Amino acid sequence: MAISIAVPREVSAGERRVALVPDVVKALTKAGRLVAVEAGAGLAAGYPDEVYAAAGATVDTDRTHLFESAQIVLKVQPPNAEEIAAMAPGTVVVAVMNASRNLDLVARMRDAKLTAFALELVPRITRAQSMDVLSSQATVAGYRAALIGAELTPKFLPMLTTAAGTIRPAKVLILGAGVAGLMSIATARRLGAIVEGYDVRRAAGEQVRSLGAKFLELQINAEGTGGYARELTDEEKKQESAMVAKAVADADIVITTAAIPGRRAPILVRDEMVARMRPGSVIVDLAAETGGNCELTKPGETIVAHGVTIAGPLNLPSQSAFHASQMFAKNLQSFLDLLVTKDGALVTDYSDEILAASLLVANGEVRHQPTAELLAGGKK
Ligand SMILES: NC(=O)c1ccc[n+]([C@@H]2O[C@H](COP(=O)([O-])OP(=O)(O)OC[C@H]3O[C@@H](n4cnc5c(N)ncnc54)[C@H](O)[C@@H]3O)[C@@H](O)[C@H]2O)c1
């Protein structure tokens, strides 16, 4: 029997993405997998049911049937309580679980004896690059952030020489030059702005400069383990703050993307720095979901403080759902190559480094240690 894969419609508020797109379904069905897609699953992302059907998927109108008959369920957002209850014990569910923020759902998946893989836990090793949803979705978020900045500023981004006078280009400052920040830099440059970038990892400097932007240098290198940033010392934070304050005051648009894995986002833009910005300036805080890089950010809202517009958008990848889903689906296709053998059987040995690291729940047990500890602390 061929292995059966289900793709439900995402039901979380504001989620427009879908886990698999028709092109990837086509490749999977060609390889002998059975793919069932819930009716309407791809509609909000621009993929109608007929295109899935043409790619070889079964389009299922019965949600409960879809969940209970699948061996593998692929999702963008973690499954909700009703979806977990609909799955048979032993079903493998793969999604971005954001486990530390969804402990109740992790406990439910454990009790339902599901096998859950969390895509955000896939290690960032070279072999796993094609499965890296953090990178693919951050690319989309960085692009959207630059567009939001361009939309909210009352200025042009490019330099213009017109009969009505010369327009100076806007200044865009990007704080945090990881995957999202670099995409914001590239997008703001393409729109013609003068761009500056800053990151605590010195290695980011070369990447920022290669995109035609200026890199703000601080005599600090806070590169921690695995290529991520470490937290700064108090003295380092002071130096950073003085330099950032000056750059922020000078910018028309500030896009912040700074993050430290597993922690609240560092606060880089304080109230008094916002007060020193020119009226009409804009801050787009990509870290809103994890607390914000600006002290005044309200997650999910756009506010005005000291005459500065501060946007704290949530789930930006969903705003470019067509391409975000295409990239997400490609990531899942690569992940499935590890999870399903060439002859279409489910792998049961999870000793592969990538599977072992991303395995969240199996056989009624939470297998990801930090999440297990959080659950034990909260006695769930
Ligand atoms: N497979 C791979 O090898 C792989 C895949 C993806 C990313 N990476 C690397 O991992 C690194 C981080 O990627 P990410 O975008 O997911 O990071 P992230 O989302 O965790 O953080 C965003 C950026 O914020 C920066 N930051 C943290 N604290 C800061 C502060 N106080 N001030 C300014 N900036 C601050 C970080 O250095 C990072 O560049 C990058 O070097 C990236 O190239 C490697």
Q: Where are the alpha helices (H) located in the chain, listed in sequence order?
A: 22-30, 49-54, 63-68, 81-86, 103-111, 133-152, 179-190, 204-210, 234-250, 271-275, 321-339, 353-358, 369-378
CA neighbor of 142 nearest in space, from 194, 172, 187: 187
Tens digit of pLDDT for each residue in 200-212? Answer: 888 899 999 999 9
Q: How many angstroms is it from 201 CA to the middle of ligand 1? A: 8
Q: Please work out whether the CB of residue 200 comes within 6 Å of at least one atom of ligand 1.
A: yes
- For 8, the 3-state DSSP assignment is coil
Task: Please give the number of the atom of ligand 1 that sits closest to the Cα of 177.
Answer: 39
Tens digit of pLDDT for each residue in 1-37? Answer: 789 999 999 999 999 999 999 999 999 999 999 999 9
- For 270, the 3-state DSSP assignment is coil
Residue nearest to atom 20 of ligand 1 (CA): 259
Q: How many angstroms is it from 210 CA to the middle of ligand 1? A: 17
Q: Please work out whether the CB of residue 172 comes within 6 Å of at least one atom of ligand 1.
A: no
In Å, how far are 146, 283, 298, 309 from 303, measured between CA atoms?
17, 10, 7, 6
DSSP structure class, residue 304: E
| CB distance 97 to 108 below 8 Å | no
Task: Please give the number of the atom of ligand 1 that sits closest to the Cα of 126.
Answer: 1
Q: How many angstroms is it from 262 CA to the middle of ligand 1? A: 13
Q: What percent of the chain has pLDDT over 90?
A: 87
| Exposure b/e, 221-232, CB count within 10 A at least 16 = b | ebbeeeeebeeb
- For 169, the 3-state DSSP assignment is coil
Q: Which of 131, 225, 228, 244 to probe ligand 1 with, by most ligand atoms within 8 A of CB?
A: 228
Task: Please give the number of the atom of ligand 1 that sits closest to the Cα of 129.
Answer: 1
Q: Please work out whether the CB of residue 227 comes within 6 Å of at least one atom of ligand 1.
A: yes
Mean pLDDT of 88-107: 96
Mean pLDDT of 167-182: 97
Give the pLDDT score at 267. Answer: 93
Q: How many angstroms is it from 268 CA to the middle of ligand 1? A: 15
Q: How many angstroms is it from 178 CA to the middle of ligand 1? A: 4
> Given pLDDT bands bounded at 50, 70 and 90, which one contains residue 224?
confident
- Quick check: 218 pLDDT over 80? no
Query: Checking DSSP bridges between strand 253-256 and strand 115-118, what pairing results, if any?
Result: unpaired
Mean pLDDT of 38-59: 98
Q: Please work out whether the CB of residue 257 comes within 6 Å of at least one atom of ligand 1.
A: yes
Catalytic residues: 124, 129, 132, 135, 228
- Quick check: 133 pLDDT over 90? yes
The reply to whether 4-131+321-378 and 138-314 are identical in fold is yes
Q: Token digits for 4?
A: 């059966």
Give the pLDDT score at 134. Answer: 96
Q: Please work out whether the CB of residue 224 comes within 6 Å of at least one atom of ligand 1.
A: no
Give pTM, 2 decimals: 0.94
Mean pLDDT of 45-58: 98
Tens digit of pLDDT for each residue in 330-378? Answer: 999 999 999 999 889 999 999 999 999 999 999 999 999 999 999 998 7
- For 191, the 3-state DSSP assignment is coil
> DSSP secondary structure string, 17-44?
--S--HHHHHHHHHTT-EEEEETTTTGG
Give the pLDDT score at 235. Answer: 86
Residue 83: burial class (beta carbons within 10 Å; 0-12, 13-18, 19+): buried
Rg for the chain (alpha carbons), in Å?
22
Task: Please give the number of the atom of ligand 1 that sits closest to the Cα of 125.
Answer: 1
Domain 138-314 listed as CATH 3.40.50.720: yes
> Given pLDDT bands bounded at 50, 70 and 90, which one contains residue 170?
very high
Task: Please give the number of the atom of ligand 1 that sits closest to the Cα of 203.
Answer: 41
- Quick check: 166 pLDDT over 70? yes
Give the pLDDT score at 264. Answer: 87
Give the pLDDT score at 380. Answer: 62
What CATH homologous superfamily does 4-131+321-378 map to?
Answer: NAD(P)-binding Rossmann-like Domain (3.40.50.720)
| CB distance 25 to 50 below 8 Å | no
Tens digit of pLDDT for each residue in 255-284? Answer: 999 988 778 899 999 999 999 999 999 999
Q: Token digits for 2?
A: 């061929």
Give the pLDDT score at 228. Answer: 75
Instruction: Compute the mean pLDDT over every residue in the chain, rounded to the nearest whole number.
Output: 95
Give the pLDDT score at 379. Answer: 63
CA neighbor of 108 nearest in space, from 85, 77, 78: 85
Q: Please work out whether the CB of residue 148 comes within 6 Å of at least one atom of ligand 1.
A: no
Q: List the domain boundaries for the chain.
A: 4-131+321-378, 138-314
Residue 166 neighbours by CB distance under 10 Å: 8
Q: Rounded to an integer, what distance in angstroms lies between the CA atom of residue 371 and that of residue 368?
A: 6
Q: Please work out whether the CB of residue 185 comes within 6 Å of at least one atom of ligand 1.
A: no
